[in-house]
Structure 1
Amino acid sequence: MKYLAAYLLLNAGGKANPAAEDIKSLLSSVGIEAEEERVSSLVSSLAEKNIEELIEEGKEKMASVPTGGAVAASGAAGAAAAGGDAPAAEEKVEEKEESDDDMGFGLFD
């Protein structure tokens, strides 16, 4: 991910197609030692591609990925369907917390 972030930073800074040396230089400026194989792989896979188009394609793909909101909603519906069990559990927790507050002695004892 750091290699892609460096590539995108360089691209945003005006380099249309950053070279491997550009990425290594940027990473070394913040104390990261770059792996030659990973940098070369990234540069070769993104060579001569338009970053803006790739980002748009990625956004379209991400829009079709479920985010898990339905799971949370179904979990809440299941708890609501269970009836009064959830409030009773909350009351027990609150009672226990209140009884532990004084720890067996009062402030002025």
Structure 2
Amino acid sequence: MVVTFRSKAAGEVIMLGEHAKPILEIAGKALGDTLPERGVFTPEQLPAAIAGIERALAVTKDPKFDEDDPEEAAMARQYVGLGQRAFPLLDLLRRANAKGVNVTWE
């Protein structure tokens, strides 16, 4: 499933559902087992959502890879951390918060 986040504050952010769901949960959305087809962050919810993602990023540690080990070097090239995955959405949420507009997804 592909999830597209939209706001009048900035362009679209597109993620795979498997990557979007944990970030949405970190941002305070109680989703259960499945990602709903549609959702919204209202302007009132944006500060808490932003704070939740920022807290998670502050405590998340990326693994250290030994670049001299060919196997670990290959893993390092493929690794995508929470910060990399969350940043585009976090930026969109911040822009929407600054303008006081919704962020929707579907």
TM-score strictly above 0.5? no
TM, length-normalised to structure 1:
0.28
User: What is the TM-score normalised by the length of structure 2?
Assistant: 0.29
Q: Which has the higher helix share?
A: 1
Q: Write 1 or 2 for the structure with the bigger share of strand.
A: 2
- Point out the structure with max Rg over C-alpha: 1
